[in-house]
Amino acid sequence: MDPGPGAGVVGNAPADSAIRTVKIEVVGAVEQVETIAAGPSLKVRSFLRKTDGPGRWRKMKGVATVRLSNGQLRMVELPWYEAHGVGRRDLKIKRYVDRL
Average pLDDT, the chain: 80
Average pLDDT value for residue range 33-44: 89
First to last CA, the chain: 30
Per the structure, the count of domains in the chain is 1
Residue 19 is predicted with a pLDDT of 47
- CA pair distance 33, 64, nearest whole angstrom: 10
- Is 52 inside any structural domain? yes
* DSSP type of residue 20: P
pTM: 0.70
- CA pair distance 47, 83, nearest whole angstrom: 13
- Is 70 inside any structural domain? yes
Q: Which domain holds residue 65?
A: 28-96
Alpha-carbon distance values, 87 to 15, 17, 62, 99 (Å): 24, 28, 15, 30
- Is 14 inside any structural domain? no
Average pLDDT value for residue range 13-29: 64
- Is 23 inside any structural domain? no
- Is 7 inside any structural domain? no
- Is 5 inside any structural domain? no
- Is 40 inside any structural domain? yes
Residue 81 is predicted with a pLDDT of 92
